[in-house]
Amino acid sequence: MSPADDYQDIRDAVRALCAEFPPEYHREVDGQRGYPEAFVDALTKAGWLAAMIPEEYGGSGLGLTEASIIMEEINRAGGNSGACHGQMYNMGTLLRHGSEEQKQLYLPKIASGELRLQSMGVTEPTTGTDTTKLKTKAERKGDRYVVNGQKVWISRIQHSDLMILLARTTPLEEVKKKSEGMSIFIVDLHQAIGNGMTVRQIPNMVNHETNELFFDNLEIPAENLIGEEGKGFKYILDGLNAERTLIAAECIGDGYWFVDKAAAYAKDRVVFGRPIGQNQGVQFPLAEAHIEIEAANLMRYEACRLFDAHQPCGAQANMAKYLAAKASWEAGNACLQTHGGFGFACEYDVERKFRETRLYQVAPISTNLILSYVAEHILGLPRSF
Ligand SMILES: Cc1cc2nc3c(=O)[nH]c(=O)nc-3n(C[C@H](O)[C@H](O)[C@H](O)COP(=O)(O)OP(=O)(O)OC[C@H]3O[C@@H](n4cnc5c(N)ncnc54)[C@H](O)[C@@H]3O)c2cc1C
């Protein structure tokens, strides 16, 4: 049996919850540029967003495979996991590198829904993908760190209680390797906003709440440092394989949604006296999209399998994200084309899903950077940066 056929109980349960939030719900939230509050609450109450939190902290202790199925099903049902996926992987940073005290303090509350850890602040406006050059500094002053700098594209700040923040604690000139000297902190957003941290929302193509953050002497208690000072970049990297694999699963959910939607429309829509789906010019792009989604799915399950077995999975996670983001984008394009003019009408949801899935060629990592990873780390080609 293929992994895609396993976990039917999880699929059925998530599908049943998603069915309570039909396409009209997501369309309306998108139209209002709102947040799917009721949907995220329902997912939280049902325990789905605590899937990867160990049972001893109130979660269900499931693996990445199960978590990825939850994300896939949300997107396959016409929703958008982008509103809530941060919690799935951000809590992993705390789980792997936080002290027992921090885990006891936060994880049970995250699992119960009392606290949301939906945000991670890494990207900066002047340095972009070149993360080790980031300029936000955190200086230790007694029992606090004082943060100054700026971040951009930091998502879900206005719907989260906590944020993981990456900042430089030792100047770049003073470290042996550029990846050293950065640290991560857990920031209480309610305390921070208005007390050294300002938030400015960025209107954007997708209904994705994302923001510029400005730090002007933001004070963070020293006990909010996660792990050892100076090792933050390594800790963030540790979490990327889970993030990439989960995003791959979301793209696969989108891909299936596009192909199913397009196939149904192509059977129904009659032009020149026959269903448009009888024309090979309409069939082939959909068949091709289906093949590519299925292929991406195999790589996604391989990344999940290795991750859950605690084996290295950087190559598979990156390749799954690459293949799935490309497959969902091409499926979206084929779906839109199949719908002709109606693909542009909001009531068909195609244009919304088309915008949503496009993001994954750029964030959380752009396609070029994955190609660069494969070229250098797998093929052993010389480093280009
Ligand atoms: C909606 C949205 C939500 C986001 N949410 C978050 C978040 O919650 N937290 C967070 O920290 N970040 C977030 N991001 C940021 C996201 O991770 C970055 O946008 C992404 O990593 C690309 O960085 P950049 O935009 O600075 O592009 P740049 O680094 O400026 O790159 C621009 C383009 O040039 C290409 N490029 C750059 N250097 C090279 C090279 N050496 N070789 C080949 N090509 C290259 C890139 O691939 C890209 O296509 C979000 C972004 C968006 C759009």
47 Cα–ligand 1 center, Å: 31
For ligand 1, what atom is nearest to the CA of residue 385? 41
Q: How far is CA 86 from the centre of its chain?
A: 6
Residue 47 near residue 73, CB atoms below 8 Å = no
The ligand 1 atom at the shortest distance from the C-alpha of residue 208 is 1
pLDDT category at 2 given cuts 50, 70, 90 is low
138: Cβ contacts below 8 Å, ≥ 6 apart: 145, 146, 147, 165, 167, 168, 169, 183, 185, 220
Q: How much is the pLDDT for 5?
A: 67
Q: Give the chain's domains with CATH numbers.
A: 3-112 (1.10.540.10), 119-230 (2.40.110.10), 234-378 (1.20.140.10)
Alpha carbon nearest to ligand 1 atom 27, residue: 128
pLDDT of 1 above 60: no
Catalytic positions: 243
Ligand 1 surroundings by CB, under 6 angstroms? 120-123, 128-129, 153-155, 204, 208, 210, 359, 362-366, 368-369, 372, 384-385
Looking at residue 6, its pLDDT comes to 80
Q: HSE, CB side, 13 Å, CA atoms: give it for residue 109.
A: 13
| Mean of pLDDT values over 312-320 | 97
Residue 259 CA to ligand 1 centre (angstroms):
28
DSSP string, 188-205: EHHHHBTTTEEEEE---S
Q: Quick one: residue 226, left, alpha or beta (phi over 0 = left, psi -120 to 50 = alpha)?
A: beta
* pTM beyond 0.95: yes
- Identify the residue whose C-alpha is closest to ligand 1 atom 50: 153
CA distances from 336 to 52, 249, 354 (A): 35, 21, 8
Closest by CA position to 110, among listed 165, 69, 58:
58
> How far does residue 367's CA lie from ligand 1's centre (Å)?
10
Per residue in 111-125, pLDDT (tens digit) is: 999 999 999 999 999
d(CA 37, CA 116): 12
- On average, the pLDDT of the chain sits at 97
Separation of alpha carbons 131 and 140, rounded Å: 21
* pLDDT tens digits, one per residue of 228-274: 999 999 999 989 999 999 999 999 999 999 999 999 999 999 999 99
Q: Ligand 1 center to residue 180 CA distance, Å? A: 21
